[in-house]
A and B are shown apart, each in its own frame.
Chain A
Amino acid sequence: MVEYAYIIFDIAYYISLIAILLSFIRFYLGPTAADRVVALDVITICGINLIIQIAMRAGRIVYVDVALVYALLSFLGVISVARYLEGGL
């Protein structure tokens, strides 16, 4: 069973990569700025998953902190774009 587990983790990794590619199409197409920010949000969240999966392969807990900071920065980025669209920035 254990050897299958790593193969399944690999499949999950590649599915997250495909998810990033799909939202990248929306990022390219998106007619308005808000569409692009939604796509960017999804890309960032899939990116957090990828970072944690890479951390598990490398066996280094430091990468988990990297993912935490990445999540924080993406949240701040989305909030500031929202403020900009409202005209408050």
Chain B
Amino acid sequence: MKKAALGRTRGALKGSGRLCLALLTALLVSGASAAQSKLDDARQLMQKGRYNKAEELLDPQSADAGELRLLLDLAKRTGRFAEAGRHANRLLLLFQSGRFSQPGQMAQAAYAAWYLDRWHEADEIYKAAAEKEDVPASLYIDWGNLYLAKYSVAEAEEIFQDAINASPEDSPPAAAFVGLAQVGKILSRPGGDQALERALEIEPDNLEAISVKAEWAISAESWQEAVKWIGKGLKINPNYLPLLEQRAVMHYFRGETKKYDQARQAVLKINPNNADLFEALGNTAVNMRRMEEADRFFREAVRLNPRQWSALAAQGINMLRLGQDEGKQVLEQAFRNDPFNIWTFNTLKLLDSFENFTELESEHFRVRLHSKEAEALWPYVEDLLERCLTTLEEKYDHQISGKYVFEMYPDHEDFAVRTLGMPGLGALGAAFGRVVAMDSPSGRPKGEFHWGSTLWHEVAHVVALSLSDQKVPRWFTEGLSMMEERLAYEGWGEYVTTTYISAYRDGQLLPLERLNDGFQRPKSALQIQLSYLQAGWVCEFLASRYGFSKIRDMLLAYAQDKTSEEVFQAVLGSSMQEVDDQFQEEMKQTLEPLMQRLGPIERQAEEGEEGAAVQTLIPGPEVLAGDEADNYFANLKRGRKLFEEGDLEEAAPFLEKAVELFPTFAGKNSPYQLLAEIYRETGDRQKTAGILERWWKVSPKNADIAVELSGLLIEQQEIEKAIRYLEESMFSDPLRDDSHLLLGDLYLQREQPQEAIREFEVLLSLKPNDLAGARYRLARALFQTGDREAAKKELLLSLEIAPSFRDAQQLLLELVKP
């Protein structure tokens, strides 16, 4: 068409100049519009999935930037990578020869450079084009997508905004809103959903927006929604690959094998080298904690397209989740080829830091602890890991195969990178693949973290995931872990709070059928917190109402690819709705009397009582008591007011009543804290010990309480109790020297030298100020075991620091006595 138009132009040039110019202009316009119309036709055909027809319209020898871009896209979509490369190279060569100077043309050249992995060049071309006049919005959208693909999310957001600014106000580009929605999702920022809605409002048939909708629905395991969006999109374009891929993903994870095979074939028919499908399968498998399946998918993606660096990086990270150290080499290869991938970068940086970690081994775990605290943590970590696994294996009648990796991070962001590849994770621990990772006690504020309980929670995931062949839904495994940590030891785990009661009263809790959304796509941080508590309570309820054996049966049923509804029907003989109705009744019975007793919760919550907690089914350390007419907050408030006024004796009975009414509220500003201060102030050591003991039993997170309590118990000759509380304190803070010193001394006194040795060795690893004293104590413990040589060695080390240390001198004389 172009050739003909040019020929006609030449002929016309023989006429008069004015007419000639007019004709030339008309012909050029008509030629250009004809070319444009051809490209529009091709685009329309592509939009409908008629790729072959679209390609027939296009000339592979064309020198038109837009035409070459379409050819490149078509070749890419259908997996003809070499051909796509040829189009890209041609586009770029034409640009370099000076053929393209319009911003729209330059944008296509930039796209070609991007396809060839020449990202910086692409960026430079976009930048140069953007400085010209009349920049099309499509340039910004491509450019924004480049930044999105290269993980520069903040810049991508700005560029998508530029696309909107460059468009007429009444017709903003839907694609820019799709980009903004993805940015919002990556940054976990609210507004992503709204941006996507806006895109669909502008262009209801926008396939990218529809595809993102489907993708999000799949990641939240909202299958019905996914079906809806996939169906809608495929009606518009039955060959739209992202949707075909998602259809396959959906069928796979719903356990619909036959449908999956068909859907996969449909994808591979269009593009036999489609790595995106397998990468999407891998990513969804990771999202569902099915790491071994993810590994297979990522490997397949890389096999089909060895240049799919994102899949290679995902494979490397996933191998590390499976405890395969070779993942590092894979990640390094991915990083060499795509140095922009922030997940790769963060993970490699973390792996570099592993040189600061010590590797240890217990019977069932390969353990990685930071070298600065490994010696101090190891005795307790090893003991609890094995105790926990053995307990749960026995309870669930299920043996875990092979060894798991257990890691503790003193830097929370390292833990986040290990878990997500990115900093900013709110969780304390995570179990994924064959790895359990969590914060170390030094990674959290003192007094707010019980690492023992977190460890128990995460190891419970290992058992539930293994028993269900990694197919347990998130709400159920979280619920089981919440239940197990509460059952582990007195005071461990979390209690339902006043915030929860408030949410219950206001109808904010999710129905059982949608409880998974509270984890997979929570509307707020609070919803996650509430969902944990609710899931835990649901599991306690199931175990109590139907018997624990049903829990095990449910996990086994999930392993058979059953949906939750099918599992409930098959194992419990009731629908999810029926069970939820029973559970609602259970909550009503428990919470409504408490609501009376608590009064207006919101107002009180502002004053810092949002941590108040109530009993559910597992008996807590105290039994709720008190007159129903009594009000917890009224007592607390009155007691606090009197306390603040200095009327301690008057304040105490109100605070005692508050503790009695609501014994599980043990957080900051709790009545326990005030009562402890009152009894200290009034010098009543017996009562101080009493309140500290009750406080510790409901909230064993603040080791200060245990240390002070033990000191008081020692005064009262309650040595056994003192030992018990000090031992318990190690599961909240094993990194303070005073508790090891005290506990070691008590063991020495009771002639339990092995335990004393453990404590003093830990003490020494913490580099206490009184090093000579610690070595002397260790020498004494060794002496008690009869190991005189080892005792003397330690003693010399003590006296080397402090030659005048009298106690050590006396022991030395004792040791060298013939």
A and B found bound together:
no
A interface with B by C-beta (< 8 Å):
none
